[in-house]
Amino acid sequence: MIDRRIAIAVTILALLAVPYAITEVYYVNIASQILLYAIFALGLNVLVGYAGLVSLGHAGLFGVASYAVASLLAAGHGHAIAILAALAIGLVVTAGFAALSLRATGISFIMITLALGEILWGLAYRWISVTNGDNGVNVATRPMPFGIALTAARSFYDATLIVFLVAVAATAIFVRSPFGAALCGTRDQPRRMNALGYHVWMIRFGAFMFSGLLTSIAGILFVYYNQFISPQALQLNASAEALLMVISGGAGTLLGPVVGAGLVVIMKNVVSAYIERWNFMLGAIFVAIVVFMPEGLVPGAVRLSRSAWRAMSRAKTAVAPVAGRKP
């Protein structure tokens, strides 16, 4: 236990030291991006990893929060109101999203979330009087919590880091709570959980709301990071990128998505610097991961067959030490 605390403290110190170790603004910004996408991936992983529900519409929820902040600021509201209202709007939209998509599970769930996500994208793209269409919405300033300006890359990184650490802690508490255990139960044995008296739908709904909360927080950080939001952020590619973060890092592990976010963001920036074809790479990586190392990466597929289940438990022991290296 003491070892664990030391590991956590060392990691936090290391993360705090990042802007001092790499002074170039470009790299500090990439570190901020990794952290904010990690929050997004943590949120998606609650559904994909712990609830066994693969969503392909999360970029829509992410974008709703971003647009809410941008629109409220453009309407002349202050940062505090914009952020709180964006969280509230994000949660309301998440509730609607969840209520509809949880009519199904498994593959149909993917299809419904995909359709809902695309509809949100269509709204961002075409509802020009609110979203300014393809031109997007600019955000002139970043907030100043406690009088600290976040304009510099370094201070923005610090703020993102604080939010990130809170998000990781909250996720850890969430998945280790009795609710989290019940959630894993609904993933593995929904009918048995139902017979035991658990309200499977409510548990899934609660998980969806928590996932939506983290996703909205990431969306708010994203709009402040870029100081701009356009419909691109809601595209299917964005949902797929987030899913790639989750499954490449290891769905259903606490820190797998964080590692995955790091991998995907770094890869995206490196690839984009040399060749234009990030989308091709994204697709190719998806296919490669799924075809060549499907076991252990995708818990939903595991539910579908017992043999794959055994492969998963083998893979889990292989993945666990990697995830365990961080706190």
Partner 1 sequence: MTFWLLLTVNSVTFGGLLFLLSAGFSLIFGLMRIPNLTHGSMFMIGAYLGTTFLSGALGFTLNFWLAAIISALEVAVLGALMERLLLRRLAGQQLAQVLVTLGVSFMVADLCLMGWGGDPISVATPAGLGGFVRLGAAVFPLYRLAIIAIASVFAVALWLMLERTRLGAMIRAGVDDPQMARVVGIRVSQLFTVVFALGAALAAFAGMIGAPILSVYPGLDQDMLPLALVVVILGGTGSLIGSFVGSIIIGFIYNFGQALVPELAYFILFLPMVLVLVLRPQGLFGGQVL
Site for partner 1 in 20-79 (CB under 8 A): 54, 56
Q: Which of 90, 303, 326, 305 is nearest to 190 (CA)?
A: 303
Token pair for residue 76?
A: 């002349």
Q: How far apart are CA 218 and CA 246, in angstroms?
A: 15
Question: Quick check: 314 binds partner 1 (CB under 8 A)?
Answer: no
Query: Which stretch, 74-82, 142-150, 162-170, 293-301, contacts partner 1 (CB under 8 A)?
Result: 293-301
DSSP 3-state of 122: helix
Do 159 and 90 form a contact (C-beta atoms < 8 A)?
A: no
Give the DSSP letter of residue 296. Answer: T
Query: Quick check: 14 and 326 in contact, CB under 8 A?
Result: no
* Measured distance CA(181)–CA(69) in Å, rounded: 34
Q: Can residue 114 be called a binding residue for partner 1 (CB under 8 A)?
A: yes
- Candidates 278, 100, 254, 74; CA nearest to 180 is 254
Q: How many of the other CB atoms lie within 10 Å of CB of 284?
A: 11
Rounded to whole angstroms, the Cα distance separating 111 from 190 reads: 20
| Closest CB 7 distance from partner 1, rounded Å | 33
Q: Among residues 126, 199, 314, 325, which is the contact residue for partner 1, using CB under 8 A?
A: 126
CB under 8 A: which stretch of 19-27, 31-39, 289-297, 314-322 binds partner 1?
A: 289-297
Is residue 298 close enough to count as binding partner 1 by CB under 8 A? yes
Options 31-39, 78-86, 126-134, 146-154: segment touching partner 1 (CB under 8 A): 126-134
Task: Choose which of 119, 162, 166, 169 interacts with partner 1 (CB under 8 A).
Answer: 119
Told to check if 300 binds partner 1 by CB under 8 A, we report yes
Is there binding between residue 236 and partner 1 (CB under 8 A)? Answer: yes
Residue nearer to partner 1 on the CB measure, 72 or 120: 120
Task: Please report whether residue 176 would count as binding partner 1 according to CB under 8 A.
Answer: no
CA dist 191 and 314 (Å) reads: 25
Binding-site size, partner 1 (CB under 8 A): 47
**106 touches partner 1 (CB under 8 A):** yes
Select the residue interacting with partner 1 from 95, 263, 285, 323 (CB under 8 A): 285
Write the DSSP symbol of residue 75: T
Question: Does 182 participate in binding partner 1 (rule CB under 8 A)?
Answer: no
The tokens describing 169, both together, are 């802690």
Q: Does 107 bind partner 1 (CB under 8 A)?
A: yes
Task: Tell me which of 98, 220, 223, 282 binds partner 1, using CB under 8 A.
Answer: 282
3-state secondary structure at position 245:
helix
DSSP state of 137: E
Sites of contact with partner 1 (CB under 8 A): 54, 56, 100, 103-104, 106-108, 110-112, 114-116, 118-119, 122-123, 125-129, 235-237, 240, 243, 247, 277, 279-280, 282-287, 290-291, 294, 298, 300-301, 304-305, 308
